[in-house]
Amino acid sequence: MTHDTPHLETAVLAGGCFWCLEAAYQMVRGVEQVVPGYAGGRVANPTYEQVETGITGHAQSVRIEFDPRHISFRRLLDIFWAIHDPTTKDRQGNDVGPQYRSIIFYANENQHRVAQASVKEAQEQLSDPIVTEIVRLEHFYEAEPYHHNYFRNNPEQAYCQIVINPKLAKLKAKYSSRLKERL
């Protein structure tokens, strides 16, 4: 739950660069806020520079605050499978290292059950094995301010054009009815 809006729930996901996940989930109807950060590691209050070494154990992640009256955790996971490759260990495209691994962090047993069922269903659609981890969320550390709204603030940057835009196009094609009208 969030501090200001009691009806919201929280999901934390990692699937490569947090800029990609942030840009995609900001488009989804029922998602109120997406915050980039770090989760799954051993270092308290890590910096981007520390996480990028790959030795902190953290993955670039996003914390998604969503309204379950408009979108379920399960539907967020459907989108998760569509916007990254869950079959590549410690990488997404040219982003390589454990900080780019695929993880569903669960906050409670219901999210844990939903995540497990979602992996099984997603695996039926893929020929390669899913390597996505399912891990209890211990801590989420918010990323530095310059990472927030990265795509919105830097749409012409090469990474945004080459990596993020194709993911957003795929999302729009597959889930247009679930997206916000104004992006």
At which residue do the structure tokens 């998602």 appear? 31
CA distance 151 to 158: 11
Residue 102 domain-assigned (yes or no): yes
Q: What's the pLDDT band for 180 if we cut at 50, 70, 90? A: confident
Instruction: Provide the number of structural domains found in the chain.
Output: 1
Q: Tens digit of pLDDT for each residue in 98-113?
A: 999 999 999 999 999 9
CA distance 97 to 16: 9
CA distance 46 to 101: 17
pLDDT for the residue 1: 43
Residue 64 domain-assigned (yes or no): yes
Give the CATH number, domain containing residue 19: 3.30.1060.10
Q: Tens digit of pLDDT for each residue in 5-29?
A: 578 999 999 999 999 999 999 999 9
Q: Quote the pTM value.
A: 0.92
Residue 55 domain-assigned (yes or no): yes
CA distance 29 to 178: 6
Domain region containing 133:
9-177
Active-site amino acid positions: 17
Q: Tens digit of pLDDT for each residue in 112-169?
A: 999 999 999 999 999 999 999 999 999 999 999 999 999 999 999 999 999 999 999 9
Residue 183 domain-assigned (yes or no): no
CA distance 134 to 143: 22
